[in-house]
Chains A and B, each alone.
Chain A
Amino acid sequence: MAASSPRNPPPLPGAENQDPLSEMADEDSDEGEDIFVGNSNPVAESFQPDTANGEEPADLFSEEETSTAVNSSITTFKSNGVHSDNENDLFAEVSVELSMENPSTTTKTSGAEFTPSLTLSATQPRSMEQLEEEKDEDSFDMDVAVTNPEKIGDGMNAYMAYKVSTRTTLPMFRNRTFSVWRRFSDFLGLYEKLSVKHSLNGCIIPPPPEKSVVGMTKVKVGKEDSSSADFVERRRAALERYLQRVVCHPSLLQDPDVREFLERDELPRAVGTHTLSGAGFLKMINRASDAVSKLTIKISYSDAWFDNKLQEVESEDLQLRKLHAVVDSLVNHRKELCGNTAVFAKSMAMLGNSEDNTALSRALSQLAEVEDKMETLHQEQAASDFFILAELLADYIRLLGAVRGCFEQRMKTWQRWQEAQSTLQKKREVEAKLLWANKPDKLQQAKEEITEWEGKVTQYERDFDRISVTVRKEFLRFEKEKSKDFKSQIVKYLESLLQSQQRLVMFWEAFLPEAKAIA
């Protein structure tokens, strides 16, 4: 029986939890699906969905190759897991499975099928409560930063390299602090890998910043102006936020690709991230076909919670876009104000020069200086507006897109289940017909097919339940993160506004005696 591992904060000595692993050292990993089917009975009973955070599995990721199948231990799990430890281990199983895929499998597709082998019932009210009560123990001791953008190479083959530094006490990493150099396509590559592996589970995978052919071309060509400096800074900050979100996510943090990204010195060039590559083209086609299939899904399955949430997401998306547009306009107007103030300051200085009353002349020159300082203030404020507010909104617009993707994924899973059911029905009809027509050999085949499809139906149903749970959990986590994020950014923004007003007061208070000195 799995060791009763209590819910622990991340840094657990790895040794303690080796036991569950060793117990699993029996079966072959590749037989995931069959094993599941074979053991459908014990497993069929409803499991508690896991409510554990990712804290535990962290320690499981010691370097040992855990290439053994996990599934045997599933059979030993008691159903209706009342004990929270079961859930933890269950979760551990999920993560461990994922890690096993990487070294053992070369194609990515197997990973996708592997994971659905664990199913959980989504409908136990108790589990929902536990989900929602989940305490915010996301205090992983983990910090990532993206700094020092450097231009490597020249001309059209040039690229920007960014230093990715990690500081952590998590034992799954080799060192406590380390850094590597990555380029933008590496980040995109990471996203692709994570996306393929986890999006089918209903995970909300943080999207990376967008590609920008124009922006990058300017940088490549070596245009040393403020707009390309802005672009690089914007990208650097966006990459940092992206990574921070990835490592904050409990299941994504466990992914070895993430670890590799952070730790490994040389990363193989990510293919398929070129805008105009073959893979990119394929992606476009896939997306198009997805869109078509979306239209054909008839949402006759209605779950109030999911429907409501999806609607909320849609309207939130609209509002965020609107807000982003307005903040953009604010940034532009402030930049305009900045420019106009600078020009005014100059003309004031000239006026001061030609003024013949000495005291007034001095005061006008001082006014020109104050306005000059105001220009700097406005510029800094515009930068705040942009980097704090506008980028926050842009990030969340993209994230909401990822959330929508999750919901869609769930619908696809539902659809697959429905289709399997209708196929099963057809097979049954065929069987009935054969029975009547009395054709024994064909009957045998029909019976086999029925069994096969019955299995599929059950599996797909479980898939759907499981993904529903995950999506729900992910969504709640997302909302919590969003609240935190927004709140902290809003406070940061207000503090920057406050600071600029304070300096404003200083400037004008310095000017006042000059004005009073006019005689």
Chain B
Amino acid sequence: MRQEERNGGCFQKIAIIARLAAQHDDLQPCCTFITMTSTLDDSEKEKARSVSVDLNNDASLLIDIPDALCERDKVKFTVHTKTTLSSFQKPDFSVPRQHEDFIWLHDTLVETEDYAGLIIPPAPPKPDFESPREKMHKLGEGEATMTKEEYTKMKQELEAEYLAVFKKTVQVHEVFLQRLSSHPILSKDRNFQIFLEYDQDLSVRRKNAKETFGSFFKNMVKSADEVIISGIKEVDDFFEQEKTFLLDYSSKIKDSTARAEKMTRSHKNVADDYIHISATLNSLSVDDNTALKKHLEKFADLFEKLRKVEGRVASDEELKLTELLRYYMLDIQAAKDLLYRRARALADYENSNKALDKARLKSKDITQAEEHQQQCLQKFDKLSESGKRELTSFKGRRVVAFRKNLIEMAELEIKHAKNNMALLQGCIELLKSN
């Protein structure tokens, strides 16, 4: 009971912090990536850090998530819209939304035939507080073995981790909406508008049971698609290349994402160990009455500072590398989906051709068959055309995003390492001079 209370309290505190942090960022129109790494410099506000760039530039429809609240398992996002478009009832409004609402929106977009030729932005992943929650649990169990100071520090560190997960999930949901709003076709979608505007609970529009079934079927269809897509004879070089590339890249990036995750988690563990070391060194120095006391104090102090830097390194890596990979892993899946849809359309067209031939042979329903064939061809051409456009711009987007994040990550690594160096040198000099 106490544990839950503590958890609840912790969450609330995070919500407040998140609100404050988000308000800070709210001052700017461009997309912001709420990161752990941004020191509170004002200059940092200038830099737009996003896995997906060029969003939220169009002043006619500006979306952001300035606020979010975390209750138990559910996160409530406040989606804020500012628009000059007449299709909306008000120029400036906010609505509360849950994660499930976002999924609903994504799924309806995917199911819309008209958008078959578009890459639908991937749905934001479910908020996952599992890792910090588990850590919090372990911390509660181990409380007795730690000094009060150590426990407080661990708790602080854990709260920071919760905050990081929180910020990440807010950002991911925000980017989803912003990609929609900046897409020429998708931004006009009716359901999107409802999502932004409807001031009541959307759950009535969500088909819960059907949804779970639907997703099951969708996965089945998808695996069938994989067979189709690999089996089909491709007529277009561009798509042939894209297919090969995407299939291969998709599995590699999935692998990389998983590995990157493991790596950053190990990094966090190392940073956490520094906390314990610092605390124990402190206890040692308190009891010590010899010349060693001062040395131990300095050493303990150094570890405390080092762990802050290491913690930043770990979270920067996570944001710039792991999250980048994860986002594009999902995006590539969406691109693959486009290919599947096109492949299905091609298959349909080929089938319609066969049907037409059959009809001609039997001299029955020829016009019907001809019409059907025309429809399929049109659909296929439309998909091919828009698909080509989408995939090309996707490529460009991806390269730009990778470039940006890799540069930023390298710069941050250098910055943190130099920080570490300064701390270490300072301590070494202090110790030697004594």
- A contact residues vs B (CB 8 Å cutoff): 312, 315-316, 319-320, 322-323, 326-327, 329-330, 333-334, 336-337, 340-341, 343-344, 347-348, 350-351, 354-357, 359-360, 363-364, 367, 479-480, 482-483, 486-487, 490-491, 494-495, 497-498, 501-502, 504-505, 508-509, 511-512, 515-516, 518-519
Asked if A498 and B428 sit within 8 Å, CB to CB, the answer is yes
Query: What is the CB-to-nearest-CB distance from A308 to chain B, in angstroms, rounded to a whole number?
Result: 9
Query: What is the CB-to-nearest-CB distance from A491 to chain B, in angstroms, rounded to a whole number?
Result: 5
B288 within 8 A of A: yes
Q: Which residue of A lies closest to B408 (CB)?
A: A515
Asked if B270 and A330 sit within 8 Å, CB to CB, the answer is yes
**Residues in chain A near residue B137, CB distance under 8 A:** none
Distance, CA A506 to CA B252, complexed state (A): 28
B39 within 8 A of A: no
Asked if B259 and A357 sit within 8 Å, CB to CB, the answer is no
**Residues in chain A near residue B17, CB distance under 8 A:** none
**Residues in chain A near residue B265, CB distance under 8 A:** 340
Q: Mark B258-294, 1 if CB is under 8 A from A, else 0.
A: 0110110111011001101100110110011111100
**Residues in chain B near residue A316, CB distance under 8 A:** 284, 287-288
- Given known pairs A494-B427, A515-B410, the reply for A341 and B295 (CB within 8 Å) is no
Q: Which residue of A lies closest to B252 (CB)?
A: A351
Our pick among B241, B249, B424 for the contact of A354 (Cβ within 8 Å) is B249
**Residues in chain B near residue A505, CB distance under 8 A:** 414, 417-418, 421
Distance, CA A344 to CA B256, complexed state (A): 6
- Given known pairs A312-B289, A482-B290, the reply for A494 and B431 (CB within 8 Å) is yes
**Residues in chain B near residue A504, CB distance under 8 A:** 413, 417
Distance, CA A509 to CA B414, complexed state (A): 7
Asked if A491 and B402 sit within 8 Å, CB to CB, the answer is no
Distance, CA A486 to CA B298, complexed state (A): 12
Number of A-B contacts (CB under 8 A): 161
**Residues in chain B near residue A491, CB distance under 8 A:** 428, 431-432
Asked if B410 and A343 sit within 8 Å, CB to CB, the answer is no
**Residues in chain B near residue A347, CB distance under 8 A:** 252, 255-256, 259
Besides the contacts A487-B295, A512-B407, what 10 more A-B pairs have beta carbons closer than 8 Å? A315-B287, A480-B290, A494-B302, A497-B424, A498-B425, A498-B428, A502-B417, A505-B414, A515-B403, A518-B403
Our pick among B274, B288, B295, B424 for the contact of A501 (Cβ within 8 Å) is B424
Our pick among B256, B292, B295 for the contact of A348 (Cβ within 8 Å) is B256
**Residues in chain A near residue B260, CB distance under 8 A:** 344
Asked if A350 and B255 sit within 8 Å, CB to CB, the answer is yes
Our pick among A319, A344, A348, A350 for the contact of B284 (Cβ within 8 Å) is A319
**Residues in chain A near residue B113, CB distance under 8 A:** none
**Residues in chain A near residue B252, CB distance under 8 A:** 347, 350-351, 354
B151 within 8 A of A: no
Distance, CA A220 to CA B293, complexed state (A): 43
Query: What is the CB-to-nearest-CB distance from B309 to chain A, in angstroms, rounded to a whole number?
Result: 10
B40 within 8 A of A: no
Number of interface residues of B (CB under 8 A): 57
Most buried by B among A319, A323, A334, A367: A319
Listed A/B pairs (20) with beta-carbon separation below 8 Å: A319-B280, A319-B284, A329-B273, A336-B269, A337-B266, A337-B269, A343-B262, A344-B256, A351-B255, A354-B252, A356-B395, A360-B399, A480-B291, A483-B292, A490-B295, A491-B432, A497-B420, A504-B413, A511-B410, A515-B407
**Residues in chain A near residue B417, CB distance under 8 A:** 501-502, 504-505, 508
Asked if A518 and B287 sit within 8 Å, CB to CB, the answer is no
Most buried by B among A316, A327, A487: A487
Asked if A508 and B413 sit within 8 Å, CB to CB, the answer is yes
Query: What is the CB-to-nearest-CB distance from B221 to chain A, in angstroms, rounded to a whole number?
Result: 26
Asked if A351 and B249 sit within 8 Å, CB to CB, the answer is yes
B411 within 8 A of A: yes
Distance, CA A340 to CA B267, complexed state (A): 10
Query: What is the CB-to-nearest-CB distance from B41 to chain A, in angstroms, rounded to a whole number?
Result: 21
Distance, CA A445 to CA B281, complexed state (A): 63
**Residues in chain A near residue B355, CB distance under 8 A:** none
Asked if B280 and A357 sit within 8 Å, CB to CB, the answer is no
Query: What is the CB-to-nearest-CB distance from A285 to chain B, in angstroms, rounded to a whole number?
Result: 35
Asked if B287 and A319 sit within 8 Å, CB to CB, the answer is yes
Asked if B263 and A341 sit within 8 Å, CB to CB, the answer is yes
Q: Which residue of B lies closest to A338 (CB)?
A: B266
Our pick among B283, B284, B287, B292 for the contact of A487 (Cβ within 8 Å) is B292
**Residues in chain B near residue A340, CB distance under 8 A:** 259, 262-263, 265-266
- Given known pairs A351-B253, A501-B421, A505-B414, the reply for A323 and B289 (CB within 8 Å) is no
Asked if B292 and A482 sit within 8 Å, CB to CB, the answer is yes
**Residues in chain B near residue A494, CB distance under 8 A:** 302, 424, 427-428, 431
Q: Which residue of A lies closest to B250 (CB)?
A: A354
Asked if B270 and A343 sit within 8 Å, CB to CB, the answer is no
Q: Which residue of A lies closest to B271 (CB)?
A: A333
Asked if B276 and A329 sit within 8 Å, CB to CB, the answer is yes
- Given known pairs A351-B249, A518-B403, the reply for A333 and B273 (CB within 8 Å) is yes
Distance, CA A363 to CA B413, complexed state (A): 16
Distance, CA A489 to CA B266, complexed state (A): 26
Query: What is the CB-to-nearest-CB distance from A505 to chain B, in angstroms, rounded to a whole number?
Result: 5
Asked if A360 and B263 sit within 8 Å, CB to CB, the answer is no
Asked if B256 and A351 sit within 8 Å, CB to CB, the answer is yes
Asked if A367 and B406 sit within 8 Å, CB to CB, the answer is yes
Q: Which residue of A lies closest to B431 (CB)?
A: A491
Asked if B425 and A516 sit within 8 Å, CB to CB, the answer is no
Asked if A502 and B421 sit within 8 Å, CB to CB, the answer is yes
Query: What is the CB-to-nearest-CB distance from B265 to chain A, in angstroms, rounded to a whole number?
Result: 8
Q: Which of B227-271 touch A at CB < 8 Å?
A: 241, 245, 248-249, 252-253, 255-256, 259-260, 262-263, 265-267, 269-270
B299 within 8 A of A: yes
**Residues in chain B near residue A490, CB distance under 8 A:** 295, 299, 431
Asked if B259 and A344 sit within 8 Å, CB to CB, the answer is yes
Distance, CA A341 to CA B313, complexed state (A): 14
Asked if A333 and B299 sit within 8 Å, CB to CB, the answer is no
Asked if B402 and A518 sit within 8 Å, CB to CB, the answer is yes
Query: What is the CB-to-nearest-CB distance from B200 to chain A, in angstroms, rounded to a whole number?
Result: 45
Asked if B256 and A326 sit within 8 Å, CB to CB, the answer is no
Q: Which residue of A lies closest to B245 (CB)?
A: A356
Query: What is the CB-to-nearest-CB distance from A175 to chain B, in angstroms, rounded to a whole number?
Result: 35
**Residues in chain B near residue A336, CB distance under 8 A:** 266, 269
**Residues in chain A near residue B424, CB distance under 8 A:** 494, 497-498, 501
Asked if B421 and A330 sit within 8 Å, CB to CB, the answer is no
The 6 A-B residue pairs with the shortest CB-CB distance, nearest first, are A337-B266, A518-B403, A344-B259, A330-B273, A515-B406, A333-B269
**Residues in chain B near residue A323, CB distance under 8 A:** 277, 280-281, 284
Distance, CA A319 to CA B414, complexed state (A): 35
Q: Which of B26-44 touch A at CB < 8 Å?
A: none
**Residues in chain A near residue B259, CB distance under 8 A:** 340, 343-344, 347
Our pick among B281, B399, B421, B432 for the contact of A498 (Cβ within 8 Å) is B421
Q: Which residue of A lies closest to B241 (CB)?
A: A356
Query: What is the CB-to-nearest-CB distance from A164 to chain B, in angstroms, rounded to a whole number?
Result: 30
Query: What is the CB-to-nearest-CB distance from A312 to chain B, in angstroms, rounded to a whole number?
Result: 6
**Residues in chain A near residue B289, CB distance under 8 A:** 312
**Residues in chain B near residue A322, CB distance under 8 A:** 280, 283
**Residues in chain B near residue A497, CB distance under 8 A:** 306, 420, 424
**Residues in chain B near residue A319, CB distance under 8 A:** 280, 283-284, 287
Query: What is the CB-to-nearest-CB distance from A373 to chain B, in angstroms, rounded to a whole number?
Result: 12
Distance, CA A480 to CA B434, complexed state (A): 14
Distance, CA A495 to CA B287, complexed state (A): 26
Distance, CA A359 to CA B262, complexed state (A): 27
Distance, CA A509 to CA B410, complexed state (A): 7
Distance, CA A479 to CA B288, complexed state (A): 10
Asked if A486 and B283 sit within 8 Å, CB to CB, the answer is no
